[in-house]
Structure 1
Amino acid sequence: MTRLAIDQLTLWITAAANEHALDLASHVEERTGASHRAALAALRRLVDAGWLTRSGTARRPIYGPGSLRQVVRSYTLHQLQEDVAWQRDFAPHLALPRHVQRMVQHGFTELVNNAIDHSGGTSVTVSLRQTPSHAQLLVSDDGCGVFEKICDTYELTDAQHAMLELSKGRLTTQPQAHTGRGLFFSSQLADVFDIHANGKAFQRRAWEGNAWAAGRGLPRQGSSIYMAVALSSTRTLEQVLGQWSVDGSGIAFDQTRVMLNLVVGPGQMLDSRAQARRVAARLPQFKRAEVDFTGVEDVGHAFADELFRVFARAHQQVELVPLNMTPRVAALVSAARAS
């Protein structure tokens, strides 16, 4: 049995071990066309690698999923129901801490629903892997690509501006049917979160705060969303929801944070009123907006004036809270507010 065949077996052996605990070797033979000897050899390797457990006797072995688990399924998007896919095909094969499984389930249903309702594609492939340290979810569709969809809907010019809007939250291309929570909160639940679409990519790491950074895009059509949650995570769904609610209840989504590094590229300056208006777009939807200057050494007078005087006075119901400012930026912001 070649290594390639073993790699292919891991895509479905977890579910097979649950469903064929007493006749797994025969099932592998039937599914792969391998000989009985090759099937047994492959199962031994999978046990040694942690993909399977083996108990019982030599003559009557009993197999089960190991510490490494994986389920990979492809679906036609037409009439797909994400909750059915989760309950039928994925949840029975996991052994996650309860609060982690709740976060993974939330990410699964939201990301698969996004593919169903927004991608404009025909199919989606979902991979969920459990390791001794993490749960790793990948949802890939063959649609138009998330950044292109946002740019078309909101008349934006590039993927970075689309990511800026995504990072604020409450962004949806179908406001009658959605509230713009799914992708945003999935990213906040994860320790690692990557968005790939049509050669563009952005990534977020929980240990880097709320920052988003450009990544290396995948050369494929459609969107691929990856999230990983540590099994040791102390994060909970309720806690994350509460962080984006002014009263901490997690009911309303009325607080956001704007990462200014997404407005311009490296080496460019926040210098114009147009940039400030881009930052302020959709902020009236929120009661409180943190404006994060991490990585921004300086801004122009026009930018500071447009955001912290013009916008602030026109929308006094929105509390603007600047964060991580250099002394010069702080002085400019203070001057704009005092004007």
Structure 2
Amino acid sequence: MSRLVRVGEVARELGVTPARLRQLADSGVVPSERSPGGHRVFDPGAVRSALARRSSSDFTQPRWTEPTWERLLPLAGLQEDAVWRDVVVDVLQDRLSPEGRSTAGYAFTEMLNNAIDHSGAADVRVAVWASRLEIRFEVSDDGRGALHHLQQRLGLEDAYDALGELTKGKTTTDPEHHSGEGIFFTSKAVDVFTLESAGLRWTVDNVRQDQAVGASDIDVGTRVRWEMDPATTTPIADVFGAYTDEDHQFSRTRTVVRLFGIGVRFVSRSEAKRLMRGLDRFKEVTLDFTGVEEVGQGFVDEVLRVWPRKHEGTLVTPVGMTGPVEFMVRRGLPSAAQPSGTGDA
């Protein structure tokens, strides 16, 4: 008997959003059934076979053309909540589930507020693409640029270094007025999140459960885009809960090691120090070694022995190691701190 699974599992395997998979099923590109409870379920093998018989354009056709809603707004005196109300009234209305509305509202107001408070630009461009199955948002400006600004204010080496700091959470140029949580939690709450600045593109793909850094044509200013399923049933409180403690404090973070270097090899103590900088702001730090092919003794010693001894209030847990990396990490850990496995902790 075929194994029937829910939309989220198949979507992750294919690397598409659940909304896109539903769209393919509705259009007859892939087969689906209904469970006794009324949920749409899929046979992964049948889905792969159906896609193999179709041309690539059936699966990868462009989804984003002209925005459904677009405005160029002067930043002076702009209020993000007022713009959000306009978007809801003009475009979204009843398109969002209660959970989707909470997530979309949080992400939209946080990202627009960043442009208002930090960009130094005269105007901001806001765009929304909306359909029954998917919604995409964009906030862009031609101001000082998020990464250039962070680099200068924090005295960092370059924009790539600034991006590394941004991915950790609690990173802000204005700690008296901002917590540094908006970008971090928005990137975790939506399906796909992209920030472009200083010629770099940071993508957080929560469908594939992956992150990547690449080149961007945005050198001046900042462009932030995110996509989400309007019918999501995941409460945003669950996203916050994964990184907060019993006192609701943002005390946990997950750092992807591969984002902090060029390539997949990390051998020096200087790389380790850059990776660990500022992580003492958290009580628990998960270091994700997924995709890393080689680590040196000095790197491991700094990350897993030297740094934890200097910051005893922070628990460091490595995950995602395989092969030689797992060997070096286990060799470098104190015996009491040995990880229980190579998967997520």
TM-score bracket, normalised by the shorter chain, equals: 0.7 to 0.9
The 2-side partners of 1:145 and 1:176 are apart by 20
Q: CA deviation at 1:193?
A: 0.8
Q: What SS does the aligned partner of 1:113 have?
A: helix
Normalising to structure 1: TM-score of the pair?
Answer: 0.75
* 2:340 alignment partner in structure 1: none
Q: What SS does the aligned partner of 2:68 have?
A: strand
Q: What SS does the aligned partner of 1:117 have?
A: helix
- Say whether 1:217 aligns with 2:202: no
- Say whether 1:261 aligns with 2:289: no
Contact 2:145 2:220 in 1 (8 A): yes
Contact 1:246 1:288 in 2 (8 A): no
Q: Which amino acid in the other structure matches residue 142 of structure 1?
A: D
Pick aligned residue for 1:73 from 71, 74, 92: 71
* 1:147 alignment partner in structure 2: 147
Q: CA separation of 1:286/1:219 partners in 2, compared to 1, >3 Å: closer, same or farther?
A: closer
Runs of 4+ displaced beyond 6 Å: none
- Say whether 1:119 aligns with 2:119: yes
Normalising to structure 2: TM-score of the pair?
Answer: 0.73
For structure 2, the 5+ residue unaligned runs are 1-65, 336-345
Contact 1:204 1:212 in 2 (8 A): yes
Q: What SS does the aligned partner of 2:167 have?
A: helix
* 2:59 alignment partner in structure 1: none
Q: CA separation of 1:109/1:274 partners in 2, compared to 1, >3 Å: closer, same or farther?
A: same
After TM superposition, the structure 1 = structure 2 runs for residues 289-304 of structure 1, keeping only pairs within 5 Å, are 289-304=285-300
Contact 2:99 2:236 in 1 (8 A): yes
The 2-side partners of 1:69 and 1:139 are apart by 12
Q: CA deviation at 1:220?
A: 5.5
Contact 2:244 2:252 in 1 (8 A): yes
* 2:237 alignment partner in structure 1: 238
Q: Which amino acid in the other structure matches residue 149 of structure 1?
A: H
Contact 2:97 2:233 in 1 (8 A): no
* 1:184 alignment partner in structure 2: 184
Contact 1:246 1:287 in 2 (8 A): no
Percent identical pairs in the alignment equals 33
User: Which has the larger Rg?
Assistant: 1
Q: Which amino acid in the other structure matches residue 333 of structure 1?
A: V
Q: Which amino acid in the other structure matches residue 143 of structure 1?
A: G
* 2:200 alignment partner in structure 1: 200
* 2:227 alignment partner in structure 1: 228
* 1:8 alignment partner in structure 2: none
Q: Which amino acid in the other structure matches residue 107 of structure 2?
A: G
Pick aligned residue for 1:305 from 301, 307, 314: 301
* 2:329 alignment partner in structure 1: 333
Once the two structures are superposed, residues 271-311 of structure 1 have per-residue CA deviations (whole angstroms, 9 ceiling, x without a partner) of: 11111111111111101000000111120111111111111
Q: CA deviation at 1:206?
A: 0.7
Contact 1:146 1:222 in 2 (8 A): yes
* 2:161 alignment partner in structure 1: 161
Q: What SS does the aligned partner of 1:252 have?
A: coil
